[in-house]
C-alpha cells in the first residue's frame, strides 16, 4: 500500500486560519444577526475538518474523504485498467489510470513516481508510460 495523496506544506496553516476566521465570523454573525457571516463561518469550520487521502493498493485506488459528520470511501478497480500514463510536470506528477473511455486522474509528488512505477510493475501487468512535459 502506498499513500499517494498530494500534500500541501501549508495545509496546516490554512486549516488553523480557517478555524480562527470561521469562529470570528460565527460570533459576529450571531451578534449582528447576519446569516451570511454565520454561513461562511460554518463553511470555514467545515473546511478545517475536511481531509482527503488516496492509497494505491494492488487491486485498486482507494480514496477516503473525511470531514465533520461524514466519511466516504471510493474504490477504483485496477483490473480493467489498460494503461497508466504518468506525466511529469514541474514538481508534480500526474497519473492517468486509463480504462476504455474513462480515466482517473491523480496528482502526486515527483519523488513518488519511481516508487509508484515499481509498485505497478510488481503487483500488476498494466502498461506504464512516463512522459516528461
pLDDT category at 42 given cuts 50, 70, 90 is very high
- Rounded to two decimals, the pTM is 0.75
Average pLDDT over residues 100-118: 85
What mean pLDDT is reported for the chain? 88
Question: How many other CB atoms are found less than 10 A from the CB of residue 42?
Answer: 15
**Nearest 5°: phi and psi at 9?**
-65, -20
Looking at the chain, the whole-number percentage of residues with pLDDT higher than 90 is 32
Mean pLDDT of 10-29: 93
Amino acid at each position: 500500500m502506498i499513500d499517494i495523496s498530494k500534500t500541501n506544506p501549508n495545509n496546516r496553516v490554512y486549516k488553523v486560519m480557517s478555524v480562527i476566521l470561521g469562529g470570528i465570523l460565527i460570533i459576529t454573525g450571531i451578534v449582528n444577526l447576519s446569516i451570511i457571516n454565520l454561513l461562511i463561518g460554518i463553511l470555514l469550520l467545515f473546511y478545517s475538518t475536511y481531509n482527503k487521502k488516496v492509497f494505491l493498493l494492488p487491486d485498486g485506488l482507494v480514496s477516503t474523504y473525511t470531514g465533520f459528520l461524514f466519511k466516504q470511501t471510493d474504490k477504483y478497480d485496477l483490473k480493467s485498467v489498460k494503461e497508466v500514463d504518468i506525466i511529469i510536470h514541474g514538481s508534480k506528477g500526474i497519473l492517468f489510470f486509463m480504462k476504455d473511455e474513462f480515466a482517473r486522474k491523480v496528482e502526486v509528488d515527483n519523488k513518488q513516481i519511481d516508487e509508484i512505477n515499481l509498485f505497478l510493475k510488481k503487483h500488476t501487468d498494466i502498461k506504464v508510460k512516463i512522459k516528461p512535459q
